[in-house]
Amino acid sequence: MNNNILFFRLYVLILLTFLLVFSFVLSKQLLVIIMNPLKLIFLHNNLQKKINFNENFYLGLLEIYLFRGNVLISIALSEFILEFNNGLVTKDIIYASLAYSYYVNSFYSIAEYYYLKILSFAPSNYKVILNLAYLYFDLGYETKAKYLFTRAGSLK
C-alpha radius of gyration, the chain, whole number: 28
pLDDT for 33-74, tens place per residue?
887 777 777 766 766 565 566 777 778 878 888 878 788 888
CA distance 142 to 43: 47
Which CATH superfamily is 52-155 part of? Answer: Tetratricopeptide repeat domain (1.25.40.10)
Task: Please state the φ and ψ torsions of residue 13, each to the nearest 5 degrees.
Answer: -65, -45
**pLDDT score of 1:** 58
**pLDDT score of 112:** 93
- Each domain of the chain, given as residue ranges in start order, spans 1-45, 52-155
pLDDT for 82-101, tens place per residue?
887 667 678 888 898 899 88
CA distance 137 to 35: 50
